[in-house]
């Protein structure tokens, strides 16, 4: 889906046959708890195994999924017959590994941040186009339960014209945010925050940002203000050291506003608890009623049901794209657009002032 395009988030029922032979590079937190369970639960994918050079991570793979293969390199994975791969490694390695996988003839899903800057993102996107291979940034947060609800309310006209979009990834876990290899909070949380803002409100005309630097020199407690070409504004916060997290969303429109105070999408909790779309079936991604948001038209709010989250739609959609049965779930050019905004936010936070795009 191109940035800002307002099409259905549902996926085609077409199922690739045979399943796409998939590998995973990296078995850290993201690879182990998010990518591996979702690839393994997708009938459209045949999960061949994990590329890791760590004996400890190989042992974890064997513990989590007895019999699942491990490989010492992308080359070994390709030689085993893989057609596609998900990259879930430190951010500083994303561009190198994605490019190498493409050069091996593999379709690629790359976790966020897709690259460290817009120039590197553009180089990788151009390579995939030249090789005519599917490439997709892993923007699973487009299928968060609460963001799907925001999109539904906007599409149905419940809020009127959106004038301000406030979005937060705020947690109180100092010292546990991304290290030097992760690129800092702006790239980590900011990759999702900016992508959602672009999907909802379209291209950006100007960027203003602030951050607080940690003792190790990396950024945290980030605030980014976007002025969109259509006139709406996005106010985005990301922090690993916020003792009083604000609401996940506050969306203000000419006819109403929506507030959701839930801090974490249920899908994250389910995966960390060892449950998957395969084990829960139709109950996957359902949010308890006490976590639903409200639409306000003044002081009193009306509770509205939250859509079921749908992270489980990403890998089936990508598998269909590999078989030529549909588009990739997230267009690679969207990563370039997001990184362009994040580059501008970095300049603004460093130098002060507004950066115009």
Domain ranges of the chain: 20-140+313-340, 142-306
Q: Which fold has domain 142-306?
A: Dihydrodipicolinate Reductase; domain 2 (3.30.360)
According to the 3-state scheme, what is the secondary structure of 98-112?
HHHHHHCCCEEEECC
The pTM of this model reads 0.93
Residue 143: burial class (beta carbons within 10 Å; 0-12, 13-18, 19+): buried
Residue 245 in 3-state DSSP? coil
pLDDT along the chain (357 residues), means of 10: 40 74 97 97 97 96 95 98 97 97 98 97 98 98 98 98 97 77 86 98 98 88 97 96 94 98 91 95 95 94 97 98 97 98 97 96
Encoding tokens for residue 141? 């947060």
- Whether 139 and 110 have beta carbons less than 8 Å apart is answered as no
pLDDT given for residue 178 in this prediction: 76
CATH of 20-140+313-340, one of 3.40.50.11060, 3.40.50.300, 3.40.50.2300, 3.40.50.720: 3.40.50.720
According to the 3-state scheme, what is the secondary structure of 54-88?
CHHHHHHHHHHCCCCEEECCHHHHHHCCCCEEEEC
Q: Which of 351, 331, 340, 357 is nearest to 191 (CA)?
A: 340
pLDDT given for residue 218 in this prediction: 87
pLDDT given for residue 260 in this prediction: 97
pLDDT given for residue 13 in this prediction: 57
Encoding tokens for residue 318? 């990508």
pLDDT given for residue 16 in this prediction: 78
pLDDT given for residue 216 in this prediction: 82
């Amino acid at each position: 889906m191109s940035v800002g395009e307002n099409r259905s988030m549902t996926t085609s029922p077409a199922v690739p046959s045979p399943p796409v032979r998939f590998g995973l590079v990296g078995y850290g937190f993201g690879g182990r708890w998010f990518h591996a369970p979702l690839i393994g639960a997708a009938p459209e994918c045949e999960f061949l195994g994990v590329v890791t050079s760590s004996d400890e991570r190989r042992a974890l793979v064997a513990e989590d999924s007895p019999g699942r293969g491990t490989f010492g390199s992308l080359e070994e994975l390709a030689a085993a017959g893989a057609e596609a791969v998900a990259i879930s490694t430190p951010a500083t390695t994303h561009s190198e590994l994605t490019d190498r996988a493409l050069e091996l003839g593999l379709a690629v899903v790359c976790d966020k941040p897709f690259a460290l800057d817009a120039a590197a993102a553009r180089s990788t996107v151009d390579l995939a186009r030249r090789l005519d291979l599917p490439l997709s940034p892993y923007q699973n947060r487009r299928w968060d339960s609460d963001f799907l609800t925001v999109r539904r309310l906007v599409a149905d006209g419940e809020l009127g014209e959106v004038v301000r979009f406030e979005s937060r990834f705020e947690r109180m876990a100092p010292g546990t945010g991304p290290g030097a290899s992760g690129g800092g909070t702006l790239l980590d949380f900011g990759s999702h925050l900016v992508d959602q803002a672009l999907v909802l409100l379209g291209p950006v005309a100007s960027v203003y940002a602030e951050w607080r630097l940690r003792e190790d020199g990396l950024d945290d407690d980030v605030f980014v203000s976007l002025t969109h070409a259509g006139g709406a504004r996005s106010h985005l916060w990301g922090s690993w050291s916020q003792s009083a997290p604000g609401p996940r969303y506050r969306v203000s429109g000419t006819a109403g506003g929506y507030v959701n105070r839930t801090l974490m999408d249920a899908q994250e909790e389910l995966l960390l608890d060892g449950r998957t779309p395969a084990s829960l079936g139709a109950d996957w991604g359902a949010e308890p009623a006490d976590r639903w948001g409200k639409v306000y038209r003044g002081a009193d709010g009306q509770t509205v049901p939250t859509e079921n989250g749908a992270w489980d739609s990403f890998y089936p959609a990508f598998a269909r794209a590999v078989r030529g049965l549909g588009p990739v779930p997230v267009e690679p050019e969207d990563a370039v657009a997001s990184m362009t905004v994040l580059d501008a936010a970095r300049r603004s936070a460093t130098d002060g002032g507004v950066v115009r795009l």
